Structure 1
Amino acid sequence: MKELTPAFDQLASQDNSLELKIICNDFFECGKMPVVKKIWALEEENADLQDIDIGLAPLPNHEWTKGKCATKLLQYLSVGIPVVCSPVGVHNEIIQEGVNGLFAASTQEWVGKMSLLIKDKAMRERIGREGKKTVESSYSLKANLPKFINIIKDFVIHENTLRIFRL
């Protein structure tokens, strides 16, 4: 997140009512934009997420991050928060640009995409709804339980078949 400080500074210069809420255990100062520091706590996580307007998921384009899970991204989407994220790794599989999220790579793209969502409440709401639908249809327990059950069934059937041949 710290790498977005130049983008946050530009946004703060355009609109002094903005603030950055950081929910974690490791904070940084952010030039011109005021930072609200919230220590992460499991029991408060859902309420903390509900208290933000735009979720940010920056990732550097490195080999390690290409294999990272998109937990933060999925958390935002699951509660209907519109997201701006880096077009890196699994983010590319989850996000459809302009439908359920927005991509940004350069500082100017981050400023532009965040500005779009800041200025357009209807767009924030639409992208948030689509993001939530994405999680419900592809990443929720309800969507994946039948797949999991079939894997277990296939394993049990395969194991039983192997045992029959071993006898």
Structure 2
Amino acid sequence: MLPTTDKMLINRDFNNITEKRKLILNKGQLNIVWVGTSYNLPNLQIVCEDLENSAKELSKRNINVTFFVISNKPLYYEFANINLENITWKREIVKDYFERSHIGLMPLVNNQYNRGKGGFKLIQYLSSGIVTFGSDVGMNGEIITNNTGFISNDSWANKIVEIASSPDYWEKLSRSAFSRYETKFSYKRNLDKINKILEE
């Protein structure tokens, strides 16, 4: 089984991008991203309160939170402590926002449809070295590890606060995320496997 992968979002200069993101975090700015079609926005709604709680705690530590929602329709939610940016999806702009983001989200309601998802969103995050947060539904549990992010159907708030409060910890997870993409989910890995099957 080969999960869908993406080579278009890979950072050409991963070390430079990582250092820039770490500097942003050191200056007290956490950027969270979610990308998906409007059909999946209800999945995002289930963690909005959690995000608000984490942002409220981070504000006490002088850390601001911006949430990039990249979709064909906007997310409607009244955050008190989060700067919500609804961005109309265009493939050419996604990479720019990914290169500015620290944490990528894939919350899922536990239903039959979502249990069939292949975790493409998470693989896109990994390819950009974004720390991944996902619900333990479908393929998510096979993609996210303790070294790349956090998987749970319970609260995410404390873990978000922990990562945002330690740029060094965030960097460690970010580098592990990119490494996991390269070794498990990369375009080259999939292509090599497909070629091997065809040769047989």
TM-score between both structures, scaled by the size of structure 1: 0.83
Structure number with higher relative contact order (C-alpha < 8 Å, ≥ 6 residues apart): 2
Offset, 1:30: 3.3
Give unpaired runs (5+ residues) of structure 1.
155-167
Aligned residues with identical type, % of pairs = 26
Report matched runs for 1:35-50 at 5 Å.
35-50=84-99
Could you tell me which of 44, 53, 74 is aligned with 2:123? 74
Offset, 1:150: 1.8
State how many pairs are aligned: 151
* Counterpart position of 1:3: 46
1:21 aligns with 2:68: yes
- Partners of 1:38 and 1:102 lie apart in 2 by 25
Could you tell me which of 134, 144, 151 is aligned with 1:103? 151
Offset, 1:151: 1.3
* Counterpart position of 1:57: 106
Q: Tell me which protein shows more strand as a share of its residues.
A: 2
Could you tell me which of 132, 139, 146 is aligned with 1:83? 132
* Counterpart position of 1:135: 181
Larger radius of gyration: 1
- Partners of 1:39 and 1:15 lie apart in 2 by 27
1:67–1:89 contact (8 Å) kept in structure 2: yes
1:129 is aligned with what amino acid? R
Give unpaired runs (5+ residues) of structure 2.
1-43
Q: Tell me which protein shows more helix as a share of its residues.
A: 1
1:127 is aligned with what amino acid? L
- Partners of 1:100 and 1:10 lie apart in 2 by 22
Alpha-carbon RMSD across the aligned residues, in angstroms, is 1.5
* Counterpart position of 2:78: 30
* Counterpart position of 1:164: none
